[in-house]
Amino acid sequence: MPAGLQEKTNLLGLDRAGLERFFADLGEKPFRARQLLQWIHQRGVTDFDAMTDLSLALRQRLEAVAQVEAPRVMGEQLSDDGTIKWLMSVPGGNAVEAVFIPEASRGTLCISSQIGCMLNCTFCSTATQGFNRNLAAGEIIGQVWRAVARIRELHGENRRVTNVVFMGMGEPMLNLGAVRPALSLLRDDLAYGLAARRVTISTAGVIPGIDDMADGEEFALAVSLHAAENELRSRLVPLNRKYPVETLIEACKRFVRARSRRSVTFEYTMIAGVNDQPEHARALVRRLSCLPCKINLIPFNAFPGTPFRCSSDEAIYEFQKITRAAGLITTVRKTRGEDIDAACGQLVGKLLTPSQRRQLVQQQLASQAIAS
Ligand code: SAH
């Protein structure tokens, strides 16, 4: 790296505690953290010069050692149903996807926590691209920051991000170092101020992560179950060989006990002839009978190369009927954004083609030239 181009701290990824440490290191008062949070996350300002309640000297100091850098939007697709999917570039010539799903009473943003995924679930298209790397906290919260700004541009105050789900690419519980500060920013009143029930972290069943997250910032836990018996679940979610269903359910119970009054949502992708039969529903009922929980059935979304098909409406209805009859709250997720490949399990973040990569590098060089 040429002299004078030292790595600057990306303030976007620092939560309140992180910013306080950052300012302490600069010999500044901790309340600067509060000012920065509001400038960056509430007002969307990235230019220190515009932060007018900071002294000129501090602004210049920040300019020298820090930056506010969000992933760049490389592509935007709008579905007929209003769903928006963004392809956002992150350093290293890669890209991640984030999806905004507007509904009458809420707007849900689905974000990615890793580039690719290492868990190899057999029915998920993200698995087909392999694992590239963890996203940094700034790259995770940066998806929210970008989406909020873009939605404001498109819809003014009519549409807002009211819910955030870690259900894009990657396994959030394998990237807790970055997911934790991102969660803290989502919850912080000076940043995004979302209630705990409006931030969902979804895991394929990484037990140490579930245990780790049983204290600290509150959030809603979702577990991708897809099968109640070990043999089938190990085929769909290979991680099950490491953390079998019964130990996973125990971890969920510990989580619920640590978080009084909360329940766990179990996601269950409905795959024709694989996990959607009445006996599977009954096995699920037996497995979940002693845990406060909800079941969310997700119609399987096909992607190129998959041998799986989505269950029929009748099979889904029958499955739901059995679990409901046993007293389990069971909903069926409405598939959204399918026409733009934005539905569950369809996010692949498309590793870039050589020409896209060249274009990206050029864009980055150009913006560096402007910045320096
Ligand atoms: N790794 C985390 C976060 C990804 S979440 C987890 O597994 O929970 C994405 C959700 O979509 C998970 O519940 C996942 O199992 C589900 N999913 C993956 N591929 C799918 C597909 N093709 N159709 C429907 N749902 C899918």
pLDDT digits (tens, 9 = 90+) for 12-60: 999 999 999 999 999 999 999 999 999 999 999 999 999 999 999 999 9
Which token pair is 126?
Answer: 């993200």
Which token pair is 303?
Answer: 């992607």
Query: Which residue minimizes the CA distance to atom 9 of ligand 1?
Result: 167
Query: Which residue minimizes the CA distance to atom 26 of ligand 1?
Result: 345
Mutate to test the pocket of ligand 1, among 269, 294, 301 (most ligand atoms within 8 A of CB): 269
Vertex 131, ends 126 and 137: CA angle to 5°?
95
Number of domains in the chain: 2
* Same domain, yes or no: 135 and 162: yes
* Same domain, yes or no: 313 and 299: yes
What average pLDDT score do residues 219-245 get? 98
The alpha carbon of 339 and the centre of ligand 1 are apart by a number of angstroms equal to 18
Ligand 1 contacts CB of residue 202 (under 6 A):
yes
Ligand 1 contacts CB of residue 173 (under 6 A):
no
- Is there a domain that residue 365 lies in? no
Please tell me the predicted confidence (pLDDT) of residue 351: 45
Ligand 1 contacts CB of residue 330 (under 6 A):
no
* Same domain, yes or no: 192 and 62: no
> Tens digit of pLDDT for each residue in 268-323?
999 999 999 999 999 999 999 889 999 999 999 998 899 999 999 999 999 999 99
What CATH number is given to the structural domain containing 230? 3.20.20.70
Ligand 1 contacts CB of residue 66 (under 6 A):
no
Active-site annotation, residues: 97, 344
* Same domain, yes or no: 55 and 139: no
- Is there a domain that residue 352 lies in? no
Whether the per-residue pLDDT at 7 is higher than 90: the answer is no
**What is the pTM (predicted TM-score) of this model?**
0.91
The rounded distance, in Å, linking the Cα atoms of 5 and 64 is 10
Domain boundary among 68, 94, 120: 68
Please tell me the predicted confidence (pLDDT) of residue 357: 45
Which token pair is 349?
Answer: 């973040």
* Same domain, yes or no: 77 and 64: no
Mutate to test the pocket of ligand 1, among 123, 175, 203, 223 (most ligand atoms within 8 A of CB): 123
* Same domain, yes or no: 61 and 88: no
* Same domain, yes or no: 90 and 64: no
Domain boundary among 68, 85, 105: 68
* Same domain, yes or no: 259 and 284: yes
* Same domain, yes or no: 233 and 177: yes
- Is there a domain that residue 101 lies in? yes
- Is there a domain that residue 292 lies in? yes
Q: What are the angstrom distances between the C-alpha of 274 and each of 96, 204, 231, 279?
A: 30, 18, 12, 11
The alpha carbon of 57 and the centre of ligand 1 are apart by a number of angstroms equal to 48
The alpha carbon of 167 and the centre of ligand 1 are apart by a number of angstroms equal to 7
The alpha carbon of 194 and the centre of ligand 1 are apart by a number of angstroms equal to 23
**Domain that includes residue 15, residue range:** 1-68
- Is there a domain that residue 366 lies in? no
Pairing of strands 220-224, 264-270: parallel
> Tens digit of pLDDT for each residue in 80-136?
899 999 999 998 888 999 999 999 999 999 999 999 999 999 999 888 889 999 999
* Same domain, yes or no: 91 and 144: yes
* Same domain, yes or no: 59 and 92: no
What CATH number is given to the structural domain containing 14? 1.10.150.530
Burial-class residue 50 by CB neighbours within 10 Å (0-12, 13-18, 19+). exposed
- Is there a domain that residue 301 lies in? yes
Query: Which residue minimizes the CA distance to atom 7 of ligand 1?
Result: 204
Whether the per-residue pLDDT at 345 is higher than 90: the answer is no
* Same domain, yes or no: 183 and 41: no
- Is there a domain that residue 348 lies in? no
Residue 367, phi-psi category: left (phi > 0), alpha (psi -120 to 50), beta (remainder): alpha
Mean pLDDT value across the chain: 91
- Is there a domain that residue 361 lies in? no
Please tell me the predicted confidence (pLDDT) of residue 200: 98
Query: Which residue minimizes the CA distance to atom 11 of ligand 1?
Result: 344
Whether the per-residue pLDDT at 372 is higher than 60: the answer is no
Ligand 1 contacts CB of residue 301 (under 6 A):
yes
